[in-house]
Amino acid sequence: MDSKYEGYSQLFKALSDPNRLMIVDMLSCGELCACVILERFRITQPTLSHHMKNLCGCGLVTARKEGKWMFYSLNEDTVNDLKMFLKAVTTMKEDCICYDMEYKGGCCK
Amino acid sequence: MDSKYEGYSQLFKALSDPNRLMIVDMLSCGELCACVILERFRITQPTLSHHMKNLCGCGLVTARKEGKWMFYSLNEDTVNDLKMFLKAVTTMKEDCICYDMEYKGGCCK
DNA sequence: ATCATAGATAGATGATTATCTATATGATGT
DNA sequence: ACATCATATAGATAATCATCTATCTATGAT
């Protein structure tokens, strides 16, 4: 298994929770304090903390501490990597993995 | 919770497994028979069937039966919807969800 | 120093999921 | 009709995950 699939699947997993997906949307215009994010959800503070740890852990979100507050923002580099990867794996391309498979057999040949 | 997050989170969940992600990549140049896909993985046939059911169920992949073979291909419409959604939730936009939150309070104000 | 507040961590729990083996279904060829 | 092959389904299991309550840490205010 190519490790790039392992890596990017982690990013998609981070986006596979509706709460985290909405958090990403909320961060798309700039950084927000954890307390502001929390107000918009029906989840407890530890659950939000868990989700933010997930989003930061995979690199999608960056955390900044200011006093007793935590401010979160999107990591544009990771976001762009993900967009390019999604485009790559869904678009015909010259170095496509499918070329390796031609004439490899398969029952339907 | 806006149901669009629920819906698209299902698509991201489908891509959150490295095997399924690689399957999508394999399908990016055109349709493939299940047997050809199976050869590239160290998983059993029922496990592949489970993954294909997942990919088809969320709309990312379309199945076509021909005799005793199943051919799978990417559903470009769903793929494009997903790309546009990912762009939308990670880009500053006029109707951003974050505007609803201004002056809504939060401990850090 | 003490207290209040914001957020993180620990630990438990129920739900979901990826995988397997065994079996069923459905199509093709003899 | 029967055997074979490709795929799907059923059921079991171990792992992962979202969530909660309880508690800890760190910061700022009195």
DSSP 8-state secondary structure symbol assigned to residue A4: H
Substitution target from B28, B80, B99 for chain A, most A beta carbons within 10 A = B28
Q: Which of A16-30, A94-108, B45-59, B81-95 has the lowest mean pLDDT?
A: A94-108
CA–CA gap between residue A55 and residue A62 (Å, rounded): 8
Residue range of the domain that includes B42? 3-87
CA–CA gap between residue B40 and residue A101 (Å, rounded): 8
pLDDT of residue B18: 98
Judge whether B102 lies within some domain.
no
- Residue B23: is its pLDDT beyond 80? yes
Q: Which residue of B has its CA nearest to A13?
A: B16
Judge whether B100 lies within some domain.
no
Judge whether B107 lies within some domain.
no
Rounded average pLDDT over A40-50: 97
Judge whether B72 lies within some domain.
yes
Does the beta-carbon distance from A16 to B13 stay under 8 Å? yes
Q: How confident is the model at residue A95 (pLDDT cuts 50, 70, 90)?
A: confident
- Residue A39: is its pLDDT beyond 70? yes
Q: How confident is the model at residue A73 (pLDDT cuts 50, 70, 90)?
A: very high
Tell me the C-alpha to C-alpha distance, in Å, between residue B51 and each of A1, B21, B38: 16, 10, 11
Q: Where are the beta strands (DSSP E) in B1-109?
A: 32-33, 61-66, 69-74
Q: How confident is the model at residue B1 (pLDDT cuts 50, 70, 90)?
A: low
- Residue B100: is its pLDDT beyond 80? no
ipTM: 0.94
Q: Which residue of A has its CA nearest to B101?
A: A36
Judge whether A92 lies within some domain.
yes
Rounded average pLDDT over B63-79: 97
Does the beta-carbon distance from B90 to A5 stay under 8 Å? no
Q: How many domains does chain A contain in total?
A: 1
CB B63 within 8 A of CB B48: no
- Strand D: which bases are under 7 Å from protein Cβ? 5-11, 17-23, 26-28
- The edge-to-edge listing of strands for the beta sheet with B69-74 is B32-33, B69-74, B61-66
**Is the CB of A29 inside 8 Å of chain B's CB atoms?**
yes
**Strand B69-74 relative to strand A32-33: parallel, antiparallel, unpaired?**
unpaired
Counting Cβ atoms within 10 Å, is residue A2 exposed (0-12), middle (13-18) or buried (19+)? exposed
pLDDT of residue B105: 64
Judge whether A63 lies within some domain.
yes
Query: Tell me, what CATH number does B22's domain have?
Result: 1.10.10.10
Judge whether B104 lies within some domain.
no
Judge whether A109 lies within some domain.
no
Does the beta-carbon distance from A12 to B9 stay under 8 Å? no
